[in-house]
């Protein structure tokens, strides 16, 4: 009975979407999903919120960004960038720990590739929508402090990106660039899309855990 009611609710919601300019919503939703699937984030968590631990977190950031281009620079897709990062996880841990040791900190660092939810974030004139993204996570010590994040692929926070002709915008479709540059216009539609997709996946027994990790 609950499954039947769920189907009725899903049908009603989908009909509402259709009535409410569904073509535009579904198109934006698909572009949003492709946008998120095209991005690899960097997520660094400090040991604690102690002022020194927060300062050390930024030293780890500096060291990781310094070597990042040598690890996955020139990757042509998020999947390729992620595979290169996967092969370089130990090197990233060692670089992060080296930065900490330089300042007398003996905390360990764990590097991992995970799916993480991020809030909306602006980089220059591009605003990355909130949502679940693949991310390289660097966890310092107990990783209980405030974090720092950016976009590693496309290279929005990599120093080498500034030297590239045309920047990183060519890595996004025109529709994705409209989403990135006009976040207020798309925010409500993207929220509706996420809720619609989440309901559909719950009713059909599908979720992110069932998807093959890239």
| Of 189 and 208, more confident | 189
Confidence of residue 210 (pLDDT cuts 50, 70, 90): very low
Statement to judge: residues 166 and 185 lie in one domain: no
Give the residue numbers spanning the domain of 69: 40-171
Statement to judge: residues 153 and 137 lie in one domain: yes
Q: CB neighbours (10 Å) of residue 211?
A: 10
Mean pLDDT for all residues in the chain = 78
Statement to judge: residues 30 and 121 lie in one domain: no
Statement to judge: residues 48 and 142 lie in one domain: yes
- The C-alpha atoms of residue 166 and residue 150 are separated, in whole angstroms, by 20
Q: How far is CA 58 from CA 23, 51, 201, in A?
A: 44, 11, 38
Statement to judge: residues 29 and 81 lie in one domain: no
Residue 73: its H or E element: none
Statement to judge: residues 111 and 138 lie in one domain: yes
User: CB neighbours of 17 closer than 8 A, spacing ≥ 6?
Assistant: 25, 26, 192, 196
Total domain count for the chain? 2
Residue-wise DSSP of 148-191: EEEEEETTSS-GGGGGSTTTTGGGS-HHHHHHHH-HHHHHHHHH
- 67: three-class secondary structure by DSSP: helix
Statement to judge: residues 70 and 167 lie in one domain: yes
Statement to judge: residues 116 and 186 lie in one domain: no
Residue 211: its H or E element: none
Question: What pLDDT digit, counting tens, does each position of 31-85 carry?
Answer: 777 888 889 999 999 999 999 999 999 999 999 999 988 888 788 899 999 999 9
Question: What pLDDT digit, counting tens, does each position of 89-104 carry?
Answer: 999 999 999 999 999 9
Statement to judge: residues 92 and 167 lie in one domain: yes
Statement to judge: residues 132 and 46 lie in one domain: yes
Where b means 16+ CB within 10 Å and e means fewer, 12-24 reads eeeeebeeeeeee
Residue-wise DSSP of 7-32: HHHHHHHHHHHHHTTHHHHHHHHHHH
pLDDT above 60: residue 19: no
Statement to judge: residues 31 and 83 lie in one domain: no
Statement to judge: residues 62 and 19 lie in one domain: no
- Residue pair 199/9 in contact (Cβ under 8 Å)? The answer is yes
């Amino acid at each position: 009975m609950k499954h039947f009611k769920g189907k009725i609710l899903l049908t009603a919601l989908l009909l509402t979407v259709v009535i409410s300019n569904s073509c535009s919503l579904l198109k934006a939703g698909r572009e949003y999903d492709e946008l998120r699937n095209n991005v690899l984030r960097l997520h660094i968590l400090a040991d604690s919120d102690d002022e020194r631990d927060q300062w050390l977190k930024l030293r780890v950031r500096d060291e990781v960004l310094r070597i990042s281009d040598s690890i996955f620079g020139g990757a042509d897709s998020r999947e390729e960038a992620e595979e290169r990062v996967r092969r370089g996880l130990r090197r990233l841990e060692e670089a992060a720990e080296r930065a900490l040791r330089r300042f007398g900190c003996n905390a360990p660092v764990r590097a991992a590739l995970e799916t993480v939810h991020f809030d909306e974030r602006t980089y220059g004139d591009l605003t990355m929508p909130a949502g679940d993204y693949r991310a390289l996570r660097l966890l310092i010590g107990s990783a209980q402090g405030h974090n720092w994040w950016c976009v590693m692929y496309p290279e929005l926070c990599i120093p080498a990106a500034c030297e590239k002709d045309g920047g990183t915008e060519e890595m996004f479709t025109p529709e994705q660039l409209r989403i990135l540059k006009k976040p207020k216009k798309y925010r409500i539609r993207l929220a509706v899309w996420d809720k619609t997709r989440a309901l559909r996946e719950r009713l059909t027994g599908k979720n992110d855990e069932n998807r093959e990790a890239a």
